[in-house]
Structure 1
């Protein structure tokens, strides 16, 4: 038997890495008059993922106790590359931190201006400033048309590899026809879309969170429920039928919920398919075409059970490693690497599936640009 591969022997792509997007950082990129608000916030007390008027966190309705885990931030590309290299990550897909909660902002114009400022900032300050740091275009769900324009604006930037669909406190779920301009623009640009949520309390889905008295309870299921809700909306409205060439990934929700929702939807399809006559296949067909990021990876007593769950939705080709760095609950690559996969599946999940999903090479360069460069020579 040959020597088993190590993390250093393969390309490791991290689907979920967070940058420290503070009001002070974004202010120079912000349109007037909203820039004045961001400049003002540097003098207003705020905490991690809780900034008045920028990243409001309505989940802070429970007692705060000493102990727990320190919050970590990464403030520069050099720091990010150094820290990720230490855990053997070669390519990182960057998400915001504070602006995970952009859907809860009530002013359409302000939310769209924040998304535009973030996109200009992430490209100027982060993307490819160190090898393998890749950005996503943020779209504000409050203004789908503006989001589509942002995709069109940045679609040919080498440092951009996808589109970020915020889900935290999202009122109208992704899949509603009002978001068609965003999906159409992403499909036309050849850019995949990635959904990401965080914990907050809002008067819409998942609305039952206000009944829980601890962060333990709130955080246990909010991400997975958010992903299930948005997936169901996409299937109910036929997003994968209307946009057959778009690639969709669900992040920071683990993977154990995927077999459940797949089997549940197929059961309903048998009895109620007349409600969704536009679907060309049972829901499981589309569930198996979607992609999934691993963090927070489930840790059953028997690791083989997790492998079996992934096999149930044919996740060997659709599952991608994610760490959630630098958050306190991040997953080290070895947590996924050490699962009892075959060598081929392990390589797929740690990096090869992501290279295919984003259509990039082993150092993060978009294959589109390589093709165009070769064609023009």
Structure 2
């Protein structure tokens, strides 16, 4: 059908052109702190090749991904992308700010900036609601404030956290998201920063490559917690998106959880099904950075193990250094599966079943 989306990019990093962009949306009392220190949580690991593609700098200058018109031309039109799910750039660390009040006002300002400077530009842009996950009551209040916006399709938070996301401390966030029909997503890049713990159970890696290699362990922690703490029994309509965390680890986690559940189910009496069944129904993964075995057939086997036609969505990670070209990112696979990954699952998750119409 011609009016059905054929390609939805579920991880596009839109950026501030400069720190001053946020000032109109911030209470004046916070202006000097924002201009002088930004979010105020420094990076622990920095990529030696930089964070973004050099050709993604807008024609008029500014940070890569900071011009909505240039991004439409340079990325979305170039690849025939119907919708982009915007996930921000360098903003998720606000949840790891030691001052919760500052984190809360930055989150609200980012949401208003997103709505005015991006969502109003094109119906092809769909937004993620930034929250300060370390203050769940305030985060829920922010979801209620802006969750009615028709172009906001999910809540997003850092994958780094003070403790696993299944714990009841975070449940006000899930209750509010479910009320508005919003998915909840996490994105990496903040592990080891701010008030979060070390990026691995054994402490701090030495360099960026080691840190980057091991990020999936954090995703396994959160999904294990969400299932075992009974989040999906308590919030049965909630969907949780693990952005940019890889895919190949998922079968191992499902098998291990199912095996242990058979012997230890008395410790989680609220669970009514195998852990893998909750994962297949409630967890969504994105493709970038997808694993690339020497034998592409092995990746197809993994996709089959996790029912990828229901659980996996395409993402490019534009404009970051490891961007994936949608024409080259996936190995040869059956056409129905490829259609589901490129658009079908995201259509269902975000209710984007028609191609966008031009906005006056």
TM-score by structure 2 length?
0.88
The answer as to 2:9 corresponding to 1:14 is yes
- The equivalent of 1:306 in structure 2 is 299
The answer as to 2:232 corresponding to 1:240 is yes
CA distance in structure 2 between the aligned counterparts of 1:65 and 1:106, rounded to whole angstroms: 28
- The equivalent of 1:59 in structure 2 is 45
CA distance in structure 1 between the aligned counterparts of 2:92 and 2:188, rounded to whole angstroms: 7
SS at match of 2:345: helix
Contact 1:103 1:171 in 2 (8 A): no
Q: Which of residues 241, 245, 249 is equivalent to 1:249?
A: 241
Q: Which of residues 243, 246, 265 is equivalent to 2:257?
A: 265
The answer as to 2:213 corresponding to 1:220 is yes
SS at match of 1:126: helix
Unaligned runs of 5+ in 2: 57-63
SS at match of 1:33: helix
Unaligned runs of 5+ in 1: 1-8, 42-50, 366-377
The answer as to 2:30 corresponding to 1:34 is yes
The answer as to 2:149 corresponding to 1:163 is no
Contact 1:254 1:294 in 2 (8 A): yes
CA distance in structure 2 between the aligned counterparts of 1:109 and 1:68, rounded to whole angstroms: 29
Contact 1:144 1:181 in 2 (8 A): yes
Name which of structure 1's ranges 291-300 and 23-32 shifts more when overlaid on structure 2.
23-32
CA distance in structure 1 between the aligned counterparts of 2:266 and 2:108, rounded to whole angstroms: 41
- The equivalent of 1:282 in structure 2 is 274
- The equivalent of 1:104 in structure 2 is 96
Contact 1:26 1:118 in 2 (8 A): yes
Q: CA deviation at 1:213?
A: 2.2
Distance 1:155 1:325, change over 3 A: same
Distance 1:66 1:237, change over 3 A: closer
Contact 1:166 1:195 in 2 (8 A): yes
Q: CA deviation at 1:70?
A: 5.4
- The equivalent of 2:141 in structure 1 is 149
The answer as to 2:174 corresponding to 1:188 is no
Contact 2:159 2:191 in 1 (8 A): no
Q: CA deviation at 1:201?
A: 2.6
The answer as to 2:290 corresponding to 1:297 is yes
CA distance in structure 2 between the aligned counterparts of 1:239 and 1:32, rounded to whole angstroms: 38
SS at match of 1:98: coil
CA distance in structure 2 between the aligned counterparts of 1:275 and 1:310, rounded to whole angstroms: 31
CA distance in structure 1 between the aligned counterparts of 2:51 and 2:128, rounded to whole angstroms: 31
Distance 1:69 1:163, change over 3 A: closer
CA distance in structure 2 between the aligned counterparts of 1:98 and 1:78, rounded to whole angstroms: 20
Contact 1:59 1:200 in 2 (8 A): no
Distance 1:207 1:103, change over 3 A: farther
CA distance in structure 2 between the aligned counterparts of 1:125 and 1:215, rounded to whole angstroms: 32
TM-score by structure 1 length?
0.85
Deviation per residue, 1:240-296 (Å, 9 max, x gap): 110001111111011111111111111111121111110010111111111111110
Contact 2:93 2:158 in 1 (8 A): yes
CA distance in structure 1 between the aligned counterparts of 2:115 and 2:247, rounded to whole angstroms: 30
- The equivalent of 2:74 in structure 1 is 83
Contact 2:15 2:65 in 1 (8 A): yes
RMSD: 2.4
Distance 1:200 1:74, change over 3 A: same
CA distance in structure 2 between the aligned counterparts of 1:220 and 1:252, rounded to whole angstroms: 12
